[in-house]
């Protein structure tokens, strides 16, 4: 890992019997263990990592970090081994702290944002505002690490070893400010417990990920962990109180003694979104902060982007920036790739937008958000991913049917599932929708349906550049397909 060696003591760990070890690297997957590594044998959703301790020892592991269950599973192998054994009540959290100490540096000023929708948007707006203020900044999340230092990521909130590797590399490259997304999986699995946060933000809370979290409340508790556990007592909580669960989140933060800055279209919010006016290319918002009202032009589509922008502004202010300077940067903000992005325009003026909405609420919100910007009919393309929450499928179809004028149901990422069965589940809620399995053809049909003043919204894949069918990822980009369809139908070259 290129960091030399560190002792268990230097990594904040105490082994059974006080045994010391010189650690050469960290791994959560036994197959990545090398000579002298610390192997974290974590309880999993399918299997306990303790099952792989024997293998890790054979690969030369110098220390094992696990819980009582892992130690019990591998009692025989551990008994006959020289490796140090660290037993932690919460080994995922212990690994997060250890990874932070292993990699050392992290950007000086960090914030994290959680909520069902808007995390990527808010994190990227925070990064952009920091850059406008002259700081070297990145955002970390679904779209990878972006900004003054870049790298792709496989997960929204990467596991601690990857997370602290990229944070330390960014810090070494001179990045002083980082805004990260805290996914509910990431919070539940303690992936960001080793990050030093100055502030944390909350966007909203609706249905998602019930495939992973046992209940709505468990999902909420996972998100609440950002304020209840990860953000220190002297950190600042920036909360959208227009969402009912935002009020609960603010109470959790206050109970910790954290400073709470409230945001939203609620009179009395510290940063009050007092009014919004929409047009074809963006919106005008009226913001009231500390008794001062300001009018700001945003080149962003969708009322919720106004909320996201103000949450981002609140986070930057909570980290110490001058409010006046922060509000001045807002007209420079541009949408995140694949979020209410204008992808193409037909000769007759009809516009095609691409959005990452992949939950029932996000589909409804995206369509409703686009409506005030559009004079004519709204055509919507919708589909759901395989190997993910099944209960959301008919609800996504229903949301599209309820809010759009014309709906086309198509494939998203089928993954290991039968695409026709996923479409059938979406169609169940989608009423009179047209079913077109092939996504490129669905986009072509959607674009073909557009008259002057109409708009097409392609939901579900946003910034993604591939379609996952089985184990294969086929190149596919909604923005590109939209341009191709418009060019083909309008008789131009793309
Ligand atoms: C559902 C989920 O979150 N799973 C995470 C979890 O794995 P798991 O509990 O399923 O692992 P398991 O297969 O039961 O195995 C248990 C342990 O044995 C280890 N193992 C396994 C096999 C082996 O040969 N050797 C070995 O050591 C595994 O590394 C693991 O630590 O713990 C692993 C190690 O920390 C994670 O890598 C893994 O994330 C997987 C890759 C994943 O796909 N996660 C997704 C769902 C995710 O986290 N998504 C969120 C949010 C997305 C969104 O908002 O839409 C994200 O932040 O990206
Ligand atoms: N504040 C908001 N309120 C409601 N819906 C929103 C909001 N912000 C974004 N959305 C919708 O949710 C979709 C996802 O936005 P974004 O990528 O910013 O969220 P996210 O929380 O990072 O999502 P993910 O869980 O996939 O990482 C957008 O395409 C948009 O349709
Ligand atoms: N990161 C999320 C969003 C996926 C969006 C959609 N395109 C899908 O494949 O379901 C997930 O993996 O659940
Ligand atoms: Mg995201």
Q: Find the ligand nearest to 338 CA.
A: 2
Residue 215's CB is within 10 A of a number of other CB atoms, namely 9
Q: Which residue numbers belong to the known binding site for ATP?
A: 115-121
Instruction: Return the pLDDT at 328.
Output: 98
405 located within any domain: yes
Domain count, the chain: 3
Ligand 2 lined by 289 (C-beta under 6 Å): no
Please indicate, yes or no, if residue 96 is contained in any of the structural domains: no
What does the pLDDT look like over 44-102, one tens digit per residue? 989 999 999 999 999 999 999 999 999 999 999 999 899 999 999 999 999 999 999 99
Residues 225 and 288 in one domain: yes
Q: Quick one: pLDDT at residue 217? A: 79
Number of Cβ atoms within 10 Å of the Cβ of 2: 5
- 142 within ligand 1 shell (Cβ under 6 A): no
Q: What is the ipTM of this complex?
A: 0.91
Q: How far is it, in rounded angstroms, from Cα 372 to Cα 390?
A: 31
- Ligand 1 atom at minimal distance to the Cα of residue 47: 14
Which residue has the least CA distance to atom 7 on ligand 3?
Answer: 461
49 within ligand 1 shell (Cβ under 6 A): yes
Residue nearest atom 23 in ligand 2 by C-alpha distance: 117
197 belongs to a structural domain: yes
Distance 464 CA to ligand 3 centre (A): 9
Q: Three-state secondary structure along 208-234? A: CCCCCCCCHHHHHHHHHHHHHHHCCCC
Note whether 76 and 129 are same-domain residues. no
Domain of residue 391, CATH code: 3.90.190.20
31 Cβ inside 6 Å of ligand 1 = yes
Residues with CB under 5 A from ligand 4 (ion): 119-120, 142
DSSP bridge pairs for 284: 277, 297
Nearest-CA residue for atom 27 of ligand 2: 142
Pair 378, 319 in one domain: no
Nearest CA to ligand 3 atom 13: 388
- Determine the residue of 49, 61, 192, 210 to mutate for testing ligand 1's pocket, defined as the one with the most ligand atoms within 8 A of the Cβ atom: 49
* 375 and 347 assigned to the same domain: yes
Question: Does 154 lie in the same domain as 292?
Answer: yes
HSE, side-chain direction, 13 A CA sphere, residue 422: 25
Q: Does some domain include residue 99?
A: no
* Residue bearing the CA closest to ligand 3, atom 10: 385
Dist CA 170 CA 420 (whole Å): 43
Binding residues for meso-2,6-diaminopimelate: 388, 412-415, 460, 464
pLDDT tens, N- to C-terminus, the chain (494 residues): 556 899 999 999 999 988 999 999 999 999 999 999 999 999 998 999 999 999 999 999 999 999 999 999 999 999 989 999 999 999 999 999 999 999 999 999 999 999 988 999 999 999 999 999 999 999 999 999 999 999 999 999 999 999 999 999 999 999 999 999 999 999 999 999 999 999 999 999 876 555 665 677 777 888 899 999 999 999 999 999 999 899 999 999 999 999 999 999 999 999 999 999 998 778 999 999 999 999 999 999 999 899 999 999 999 999 999 999 999 999 999 998 899 999 999 999 999 999 999 999 899 999 999 999 999 999 999 999 999 999 999 999 999 999 999 999 999 999 999 999 999 999 999 999 999 999 999 999 999 999 999 999 999 999 999 999 999 999 999 999 999 999 999 987 66
Q: Which atom of ligand 1 is nearest to the CA of 46?
A: 14
Q: How far is the CA of 211 from the centre of ligand 3 (A)?
A: 12
Q: Does 397 reside within a domain?
A: yes
Residue 1 resides in a domain = no
Q: Domain range spanning residue 372? A: 341-490
CB-ligand 1 contact for 134 (6 Å cutoff): no
| 46 Cα: distance to centroid of ligand 1 (angstroms) | 9
Does 465 lie in the same domain as 368?
A: yes
Q: Among 91, 118, 151, which residue terminates a domain?
A: 91
Our answer on whether the CB atom of 44 is closer than 6 Å to any ligand 1 atom is yes
CATH number at residue 79: 3.40.1390.10
pTM exceeds 0.80: yes
Torsion of CA 109, 190, 116, 394, to 10 degrees: 160
Instruction: Specify whether 246 is located in the same domain as 309.
Output: yes
Q: What pLDDT, on the 0 to 100 scale, is given for residue 482?
A: 98
Our answer on whether the CB atom of 454 is closer than 6 Å to any ligand 2 atom is no
CATH number, position 130: 3.40.1190.10
Residue ending a domain, choose from 298, 315, 332? 332
* Same-domain pairing of 311 and 189: yes
Cα–Cα distance measured from residue 355 to residue 332, given in angstroms and rounded to the nearest whole number: 21
Examine the domain organization and report whether 263 and 125 are in the same domain. Answer: yes
Burial tier of 425 (Cβ tally within 10 Å: 0-12, 13-18, 19+): buried
Q: Tell whether 203 and 277 lie within a shared domain.
A: yes
Mark whether 238 and 124 lie in a shared domain: yes
Within-domain flag for 98 = no
Last residue of a domain, one of 37, 65, 91: 91
- Residue 89 to residues 43, 50, 67, 188, 308, Cα–Cα distance (Å): 11, 14, 6, 15, 37
CA separation, residue 339 to residues 171, 209, 459 (Å): 28, 20, 9
Cα separation, 311 vs 320, in Å, equals 15
Residue 413 in contact with ligand 3 by CB distance below 6 A: yes
Distance (angstroms) between ligand 3 centre and the Cα of 356 equals: 9
Strand 455-459 vs strand 406-409: parallel, antiparallel, or unpaired? unpaired
State how far the Cα of 284 lies from the Cα of 428, in Å rounded to an integer. 38
* First-last CA distance in the chain: 45
| Beta carbon of 45 within 6 Å of any ligand 1 atom | yes
Whether 70 and 185 share a structural domain:
no
In a domain, 97, yes or no: no
């Amino acid at each position: 890992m290129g960091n030399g060696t560190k002792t268990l003591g230097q990594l904040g760990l105490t082994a059974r019997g006080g045994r010391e070890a010189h650690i050469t690297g960290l791994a959560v997957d036994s197959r990545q263990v090398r000579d002298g590594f610390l192997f974290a044998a974590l309880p999993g959703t399918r299997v306990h990592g303790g099952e792989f301790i024997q293998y890790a020892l054979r690969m030369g592991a110098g220390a094992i970090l696990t819980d009582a269950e892992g130690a019990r599973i591998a009692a025989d192998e551990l008994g006959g081994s020289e490796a140090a054994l660290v037993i932690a009540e919460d080994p995922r959290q212990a690994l997060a702290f250890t990874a932070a100490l292993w990699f050392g540096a992290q950007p000086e000023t960090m914030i994290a944002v959680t909520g069902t929708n808007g995390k990527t948007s808010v994190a990227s707006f925070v990064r952009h505002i920091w850059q406008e203020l002259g700081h070297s900044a990145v955002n970390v999340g679904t779209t990878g690490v972006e900004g003054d230092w870049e790298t792709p990521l496989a997960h929204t909130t990467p596991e601690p070893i990857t997370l602290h590797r990229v944070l330390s590399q960014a810090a070494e490259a001179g990045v002083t400010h980082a805004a990260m997304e805290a996914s509910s999986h990431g919070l539940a699995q303690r992936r960001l417990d080793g990050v030093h946060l100055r502030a944390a933000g909350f966007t909203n809370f609706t249905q998602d990920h019930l495939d992973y979290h046992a209940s709505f409340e468990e999902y909420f508790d996972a998100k609440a962990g950002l304020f209840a556990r990860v953000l220190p007592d002297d950190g600042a909580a920036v909360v959208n109180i227009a969402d009912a669960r935002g009020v609960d989140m603010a109470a959790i933060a206050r109970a910790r003694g954290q400073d709470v800055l409230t945001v939203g279209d609620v009179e009395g919010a510290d940063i009050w979104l007092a009014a919004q006016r929409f047009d074809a290319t963006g919106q005008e918002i009226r913001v009231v902060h500390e008794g001062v009202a300001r009018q700001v032009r945003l080149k962003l589509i969708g009322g919720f982007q106004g909320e996201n922008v103000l949450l981002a502004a609140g986070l930057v202010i909570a980290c110490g920036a001058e409010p006046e300077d922060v509000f001045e940067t807002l007209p420079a903000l541009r949408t995140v790739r694949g979020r209410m992005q204008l992808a193409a325009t037909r000769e007759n003026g009809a516009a095609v937008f691409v959005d990452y909405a992949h939950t029932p609420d996000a589909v409804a919100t995206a369509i409703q958000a686009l409506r005030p910007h559009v004079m004519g009919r709204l055509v919507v393309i919708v589909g759901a991913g395989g190997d993910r929450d099944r209960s959301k499928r008919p609800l996504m179809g229903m949301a599209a049917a309820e809010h759009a004028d014309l709906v086309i149901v198509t494939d998203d990422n089928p993954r290991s599932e039968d695409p026709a069965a996923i479409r059938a589940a979406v169609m169940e809620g989608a009423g009179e929708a047209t079913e077109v399995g092939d996504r490129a053809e669905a986009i072509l049909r959607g674009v073909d349906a557009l008259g002057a003043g109409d708009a097409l919204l392609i939901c579900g894949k946003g910034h993604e550049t591939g379609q996952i069918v089985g184990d294969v990822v086929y190149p596919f980009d909604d923005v590109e397909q939209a341009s191709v369809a418009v060019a083909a139908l309008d008789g131009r070259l793309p």
